[in-house]
Amino acid sequence: MKKIYVLIFIIIPLILKSQKGNLAFIAEGSGVGGLYSFNIDYTFYKLKNDKLRFSIAGGYSNAIIKYYRYEYYPIRLNVMIATNTPFYWEIGLDYTFGSFGEWIYAQKKWDRWKNVSYILPTIGIRYQKLKSSIIFKAYCVPIFNQLNRNEQFLYSTNRGPNSGFMNLWYGVGIGYSF
């Protein structure tokens, strides 16, 4: 999985180098990376009037919640549609993969690691100027339970046989583009 991540952040930027665009660093709270994530975002555009943009982003998140620890790598593909430049609607698809473990108190170690992966849709709003600037973003994620019925999903309070679609999960971010 990490090879895919390296491929996305080495090969794709080289391909997109000929495109007009911005590289950005964004810190997000909540959202697809769990409690937080640090992301690298490359936004590029084709139209001269900047009404349509595309972005590819990836990040890293590592946190402990009670007796659980997770390490996630979110990858995001977005289409950004200008409402009133520099404000954009963002519609995206995220692929988050990583591992999830449990603290075993008697053994004093992290154990029971599971590899996890999720595909999550996102919709939100983003403020980003064409040139170097600060970025603000807010989005929601309708979360679908992709685990077996007896397992627990990190973000969910829904459990049991009817736990397919769950509450909306929200994320906010701030960053800077170059």
Least confident of 69-73, 104-108, 152-156, 169-173: 152-156
Between 42 and 161, residue with greater pLDDT: 42
The yes-or-no verdict on residue 14 having pLDDT over 80 is no
Residue 76: CB atoms within 10 Å: 24
From 29, 14, 24, select the one nearest 53 (Cα to Cα).
Answer: 24
Q: What confidence category does residue 145 fall into, taking pLDDT thresholds of 50, 70 and 90?
A: low
Residue range 6-29: mean pLDDT, rounded: 71
Domain residue extents for the chain = 2-177
Mean pLDDT of the chain: 78
- Predicted local confidence at residue 89, as pLDDT: 94
How far from the centroid of its chain's Cα atoms is residue 35's Cα? 11
- Alpha-carbon radius of gyration of the chain: 18
Residue 62 has pLDDT above 70, yes or no: yes
Percent of the chain's residues with pLDDT above 70:
72
| Beta-ladder partners of 173 | 28, 137
Q: Which of 18-22, 43-47, 167-171 has the highest mean pLDDT?
A: 167-171
pLDDT at residue 155, rounded to an integer: 44
Most confidently modeled range among 14-23, 51-60, 109-118: 51-60
The whole-model pTM stands at 0.77
CATH of range 2-177; options 3.40.1390.30, 3.10.105.10, 3.40.640.10, 2.40.160.20: 2.40.160.20
Beta-bridge partner residues of 141: 169
Confidence grade of residue 28 (pLDDT, cut at 50, 70, 90): very high
Q: How far is CA 155 from CA 25, 48, 80, 175, in A?
A: 25, 40, 26, 25
Per residue in 79-122, pLDDT (tens digit) is 998 887 789 999 999 888 888 888 777 677 777 788 888 788 89
